[in-house]
Copies of this chain bind each other. A is one copy, B any other.
Amino acid sequence: MWQLYQFPLCPFSRKVRLLLGEKGEGYELVRESPWDQRDEFLDMNPAGQTPVLVDKVGGLVLIDSAAICDYLEETIERATMLPGTAAHRAEIRRLAVWFDHKFHDEVVRPLMYERMEKRLVHRLSPDAKALREAMRLANSHLDYVDWLLDHRRWMAGPLFSLADLAAAAHISVADYLGGIDWRGHDRTRHWYAGMKSRPSFRPLLSERMEVVGPPDHYDKVDF
């Protein structure tokens, strides 16, 4: 049985959970707060980051969400999330990385820092200016996503893929943290309603992080 070291709002762990869910692979959650920098966790992952996926029986420790997803894709054939030709896969990976880096660094990370980490770790209040800037960037990035979805059925092309999982993972955390204004983003909202109704997504939507709650619409498929 897989064990996933994570915390409820870690977007990279959410991406891995969505992939495990789509593949119908069972796993157990282990709560890990990377900001605690536990020695045992640092021994396991010198980078000190979640997610880490462990197979105790096989003695396997997988680190980094992209490396974990590649491992799962290579070893579990069913429900491939990297479908198509090598060129299709390159487009899927480009967009997964775009969410993992660009959308994360400019939207999710500042929201997490201001609304979660500051309260939880530093006992400080969020900075209104930083929040406004993250929300402004979220809005402009969703314009790009609207444009993509105007031209294709799914995020990276005609087929459902890892790019949709990465997108849903990051957008869901930003949405939980109140960073998304859905007005004017009907294309993305429609796609996201479809993601929310997938069985792989349901368990994530019902979880809560201590100290910070989501807006009312967060777990509703109609929103």
Contacts and interface: CB of A to CB of B under 8 A. Distances in A.
Contacts of A93: 64, 66-67, 70
Contact residue range for chain A? 20 to 34
Q: Main secondary structure on chain A at its contact with chain B? A: helix
Interface string A53-79: 000000010111011101100110000
A218 to B, nearest CB: 28
B62 A98 contact: no
A187 interface: no
A75 B85 CA distance: 10
Given A47-B102, A144-B46, A86 B75 contact: yes
A101 B101 CA distance: 10
Contacts of A68: 90
A86 to B, nearest CB: 4
Interface of A: 46-47, 60, 62-64, 66-68, 70-71, 74-75, 86-87, 89-90, 93-94, 97-98, 101-102, 144
